[in-house]
Copies of this chain bind each other. A is one copy, B any other.
Amino acid sequence: MTAFVRNQWYVAAYGSEIGPELFARTILGEPIVFYRTADGVVVALADRCVHRRYPLSEGRLDADTIVCGYHGFTYDSTGTCVFVPGQTRVPRTARVSSYPVVEQDSFVWVWIGDREKADAAPIPRAPWLADPDYTTVCGMEPLAARYELLVDNLLDLSHETYLHGGYIGTPEVAATPITTEVDEDNAIIRVSRRMADAECPPFYAKSTGIEGRITRWQDIEYHPPCLYLLHSRVAPAGVLPEADGSDPHGFHVEVVYAITPETEHSTHDFWAVARDFALEDEGVSEFLRESNRTVVLQDVTALDILERVIQTEPEGYQELSINIDAGGLAARRILKRMATA
């Protein structure tokens, strides 16, 4: 399948995961150690001491410096070595790479690639996750599968009926046509399924107070390689947003995935669900947290199986694509273009 896409921003963690302790995570095969300085800034350094390659994350923080756990080589937050044992002179070349980091929308984004290209690259937004008008539940599941399988999975709305039957899929969902659009200039893939007159699932009826049938939209917006947004809107049947774009009578759930390759065969599967209704209702939060995590784990189980299958398939095995794969195939094409850019 496609290769890693470098020179891109990736979600490395939730901001809440990084505190004043060393935190190790591998992104696109690069081992990185993270911590938050006393000033609250997130630092990301290559997780290998220049001396003998010992992981810095096995050491300890001393003020805002990392002390290597093996021989005591000490690095400041820029990655510059400021102390070595047994001598006063620190070699000039003693430094580890530091990674550009931006904290935004509750995520810690890290730039993987050539440092000087980071500034010019916009980071896609998921503003709801840090918006007080929304309530968010979230998590991260480790996936023992290549990230392309998760991209395929998320861009296809039809597997809901089969893999997630009883959770998010219904027969009506499976029967509704899907539209796929590719914005080649901005490298965004949009997949939509809009039901004008659908049955209201019990969860929505209970949490929104809507009675009767609904208008139900699911609009996917994938910003390759990392950020996936699913804008979900329900409203009483026939009720549309206002002409100015406001939507006072709609109920919105913003499902956000960050798809971050860990290695060639494993992926960090970040997921978050933000809603603009029943904000204080812990029962609704609990329902969304449990049901979305269940759905994610069903995908993890299936994709882990698929990864093992693919690894044992002979080179050049066949696939057979159909209409539902339009979004996934477009994503593969754009990821391939990005990887070779």
Contacts and interface: CB of A to CB of B under 8 A. Distances in A.
A22 interface: no
Given A55-B309, A70-B163, A72-B159, 16 more contacts: A48-B309, A50-B320, A53-B306, A53-B310, A58-B302, A67-B162, A69-B162, A69-B163, A71-B158, A71-B159, A71-B163, A72-B161, A85-B174, A87-B323, A87-B324, A94-B320
A158 B85 contact: yes
Nearest to A84: B322
Interface in A28-72: 31, 48, 50-55, 58, 67-72
A8 B72 CA distance: 35
B51 A322 contact: yes
Interface string A159-174: 1011100000000001
21 contacts: A50-B318, A50-B319, A50-B320, A51-B319, A53-B306, A53-B317, A54-B302, A54-B309, A55-B305, A70-B159, A70-B162, A70-B306, A71-B156, A72-B174, A85-B159, A86-B158, A86-B178, A86-B324, A87-B322, A87-B324, A94-B320
A148 to B, nearest CB: 11
A155 to B, nearest CB: 12
Given A53-B317, A309-B53, A317-B53, A69 B322 contact: no
Interface residues of A, number: 46
A306 B69 contact: no
A340 interface: no
